[in-house]
Amino acid sequence: MNVSHAPHPDMLAKAETLTEALPYIQKYEGRIFVVKYGGHAMGDAAKALDFAQDVVLLKTVGIHPVVVHGGGPQIGEMLSRVGVKSEFVDGLRVTDAETAKIAEMVLGGSINKEIVRWIGTAGGRAVGLSGKDARLVTARKLTRTRRDPDSMIEHEIDLGFVGEPVAVDRRVLDTLIDAGIVPVIAPVAVGEDGNTYNVNADTMAGAIASALDAARLMLLTDVPGVLGKDGSLKTDLVPDDVAALIEDGTISGGMIPKLETCLNAIENGVEAAVILDGRIPHGLLLEIFTRQGAGTLVKR
């Protein structure tokens, strides 16, 4: 009597997943992916290890991940602990000298090294740095204006030590990438005036992705991506789509600056940008190596 030794369906599914990933591995071998890692998922050990494993796997198959991280919740927690109140304007934390020091301590210290540790735990090699190291990112003071509803006169708002990137020197990143090391970057930079500025992590990631001619800018956040009015995920957008969705109110609030970052990146050499939910286990891998993807892809 012949006994069947057919593979278990779960084993076949895993093999099919690998074969589905193969063309994407071949397509992106040797390319750079800049990943902005942030949101509340950073505080969950299991999710942090998932993320680190994704990063190490990308590096192992020949893709070069560069991680830029945020840390807003952690900064807010530390400010509360030391009794410093925070004020936000258009989603940006007004940053006085004391707040700037605490933010740099949290971003460049505990958070940065924790991500480096997780990547090491997953079997990779990572080096933590900030935009200040080797003058990686040069910033300038960021200003915002607000219109008075009564007089309709615009007033400039002083955000303190909040900056925006004006130049990126990629040489230190090229050195690390060539050595097989994953750069992990805190969004802190030196201004042309010599001051230290905190930079929005999305904006920092976009500027670095543009400077590196990255294949992808991946913005991991706390939402699935761009949602339609019916709640369905918009998986593929081009600039005209984004403009129309903002115009009709489908895209609003904090999603607008994220999409502006995506559009700016693809206008400056990045092939495509993706907004996806960083809370999804191995969401990076699902987005990169499957036909369906896992977030909203914005392309030219």
What residue spans define the domains of the chain? 34-228+250-299
CATH of domain 34-228+250-299: 3.40.1160.10
Position 300 confidence tier, pLDDT thresholds 50, 70, 90:
confident
- Closest of 80, 74, 83 to residue 103, by C-alpha: 74
Per-residue pLDDT at 53: 94
Give per-residue pLDDT as tens, 120-155: 999 999 999 999 999 999 999 887 656 555 555 566
3-state class (DSSP) for residue 244:
helix
Q: Give the span between the Cα atoms of 130 and 144, in whole angstroms.
A: 24
Position 299 confidence tier, pLDDT thresholds 50, 70, 90:
very high
Beta strand pairing call for 182-186 and 64-69: parallel
Percent composition of the chain: helix, strand, coil (DSSP 3-state, to 5): 40, 25, 30
Give per-residue pLDDT as tens, 193-232: 899 999 999 999 999 999 999 999 999 988 888 888 888 8
* pLDDT (average), residues 50-56: 94
How many C-beta atoms lie closer than 10 Å to residue 222's C-beta?
Answer: 13
Characterise 291 by phi-psi region: left (phi > 0), alpha (psi -120 to 50), beta (else): alpha
* pLDDT (average), residues 69-88: 78
More confident residue, 62 or 103: 62
Q: What does the mean pLDDT of the chain come to?
A: 86
Whole-number percent of the chain with pLDDT over 90: 47
- Closest of 69, 63, 170, 80 to residue 113, by C-alpha: 69
Contact of 35 with 212, CB cutoff 8 Å = no
Beta-bridged to residue 7, according to DSSP, are: none
Q: Please give the backbone phi and psi of residue 111, each rounded to the nearest 5 degrees, phi first.
A: -70, -50
